[in-house]
Every structure is written in C-alpha cells, then in structure tokens.
Amino acid sequence: MEFEKKIAVLGSTGSIGTQTLEIAREYKGIKIEAMSAHSNIDLIEKQAREFKPKMVCLTNEEKAKDLKIKLADTDIKVVQGKDGLIETATADGADTVVTAVVGISGLEPTIEAIKAKKNIALANKETLVTGGHIVMDLAKENGVEILPVDSEHSAIFQSLQGCKDRREVKRILLTASGGPFRTRPKEELYGVTRADALNHPNWSMGAKVTIDSASMMNKGFEVMEARWLFGVRPEQIEVVVHPQSIIHSMVQFADGAVKAQLGMPDMRVPIQFAFSYPRRLPLSVERIDFTRFHELTFEQPDTRRFRNLALAYDALHRGGNMPCIVNAANEVVVEAFLHDRISFLGMSDVIARTMERVSFVGRPTYDDYVATDAEARRVAEELVTSGGTPTLNP
C-alpha cells in the first residue's frame, strides 16, 4: 500500500525507537531522516548503516566522537549533546518527529521541533507532564499535530474520532495493567527488588518506564498527559486497573455510551497509527482471539499501596510547576532504586517530601520549569542520600 512519511527518531535505540524502525522496515515509504540515542553506539551505528539517515546524534559527547570515526566511510552527519539533539529534532526533510527519549530531556527538542512545524509522534510523557500548556499552545500556534504514541492515549485518541464537541465527553477511562505488584499486600512491597519491579506481566519497556509502571507513577503521568492532550478537567480522568491489557483505554460520553480500543499488547499498533493517521494500514501483529479471553476484569487502583498515583493527581490539581516537581523527583528516585539506594516504597516518600520543599510557581515559564527541575532534583537527591524517609529502612 502506497504510504510516505519522513521521520526523525529521538531515542532510536530504546523500546519505542526500535519498534518505530521495525515499522519502517515494513513500509519502505517511511524514510528515516535523522535519529538520536544517548550512548548505545553499537546499535545506533547498525541502525544508521541500515536506514542511512542524513544525521545521527549521540547525546553522550565522548561516544559521539567515536561514532563519527565509525561512520567516517558514510555521508551521515554526526552531531552530539543537547544542541545535537535539537538539530536532530529540527532536521530538514523530516515532517514528523518521534519523541521517544526518556525524561525531561525530551521537552526542549520537542518545543524546537514544533517551532520548526514538525508534527509530533509523542512517546515522551515528561514533555506534557512538565510543560503541557507551553507545548499545546505552541502546537496550536504552529498548526502542528500532537499524535499520541502511548497505547492508552492512542486508544483515547482513536475512541474520540468522530466526536466534534468535547463537551460530549463525560469521562476518560485510562486502563492500567496493575504491574507486577497488583495483588501484593503493602507489607510485602517494602522488600521488593529491582528484578521484581522490572518483571512486567504484559509489556516490554525500558527500565525507567517499567519501574514507573510498577509504582503506578507511569499511570499518574498518563493522567497528566490526558489533561493536556484531550482538553479535559482532572476530575474527568479515571484510572481503571485492567490486568489483561486488552482494552487499552475508553471514553464515556454524555449519553452514557462507552467507546474503547482493544487489541493484543503491541506498541507497534499505536506507533504506526501516529504515522498513518487518519488512515489505517496493514501491520503484521498478533490478532486478538476473543475465544481465548473468557474474562475481562476491572478494579479500582489502590492508592494506599501505590501512593504515586495519588501524588500525581494532587500535583495535577495544584497545577503550576507541581507536576514538574513530581517528574524531577521521580527521575531521581527511580535511578536510585535501580542502583539499590532506596526502597520501592521509599520512592513515594521522597517525591511527597520534595513536593513540600520545592518553591511553587503558579504560572511557570519555560525558564521556571528549568529552574524547578534543577531544584527538585537537588532536594530529592539530598533526601535519598540522607535516608531521611520513613520507609527507607522498614
């Protein structure tokens, strides 16, 4: 089927990035114009030789020097660091930018890509969590589409097709798998290990996102994203635990009707739809067999065991730079947990205390977000280092 798209991929060696390239292999009309990674030099060299982009970036500047040597026999331009990431995001020729880098580092290149009038296939949660109002206003001003890549937001986006008036939307129902600890009592969560938390039952994701899923912070971020993507109030967004991960999310309308998007868990489906929208193109993924699923079950999330979700809602209601504070503190504690410096439940305690200590800004600018991020990281790191949280040593 005839299909053309020119793409820049930020985070080409991660889970979303590699699956984006799988789709590019299937559709020769998808041309990879530029790509970036942080430090996985061997994989990005292999990708560059296969897809032949005009530009490749490594944000790790030392490894970028080595990559330049490795690709010296090609015509590929090698750039590096933060400036190189922005150059990749605004690359000439690309009409769509896949923002699949992890963390707040995705915010500035996304903003610059929008200014360059690139459509955004958004997989970086932190972009809207930290700077939602800036990003959405810029997109509107520049006539740019923000197309969600997360399975849940893509499901909502698909369910809203045909809805001309958002006043018809009663509720957005974000489904959550519940992660690996859905049925564990709280007292057993004190001693869970990094390996336990990385063992997600349904999805294959990078380490940071997988830990966020286990703590339900991932779902908290998705609530924040949904507020900006779909123009709804926080109280209209409800999280529903759905362990089978077959229903990817739902929308309830004013007349009580509910529309949902269903399918086997496979991130290539929302990635490809972000490229092909409004068309639907063939994709070689597993088809759902309803005779295999005798039950689709739903539960309320337990915010006493998974406090991060409650903290995310609190941050969203308080607004201003509070979501940015939560995001920065979360990045610090996840990194600490992955290096055995903090307990699983201790992560929530550090985030909550960071929210109390960092200066609140009601109407933040981009510079305020940068300052908030730095302050929140400093405070969270101090709390982790001091061990001054009640559940670090239960």
pLDDT of residue 391: 46
Which own/partner contact pairs does 367-372 have at CB distance under 8 Å and 24+ positions apart? 368/321, 369/107, 369/130, 369/131, 369/134, 369/321, 369/324, 372/321, 372/324, 372/325, 372/328
For 272, 298, 341, the CA distances from 150, given in Å and listed in that order, are 11, 20, 29
Per-residue pLDDT at 388:
52
What pLDDT does residue 205 have? 66
Strands 169-176 and 146-148: unpaired
The answer to whether 134 touches 241, Cβ cutoff 8 Å, is no
| DSSP character string of 151-218 | HHHHHHHHHTTT---GGGEEEEEEEE---TTTT--HHHHTT--HHHHT--SS----HHHHHHHHHTHH
pLDDT score of 221: 95
State residue 174's pLDDT score: 97
Distance CA 361, CA 232 (A): 22
Amino acid at residue number 85: L
Query: Which residues of the chain are under the pLDDT cut of 50?
Result: 390-394
323: which 2 tokens? 């979501």
pLDDT in the model for residue 28: 86
What distance, in Å, lies between the first and last C-alpha atoms of the chain?
58
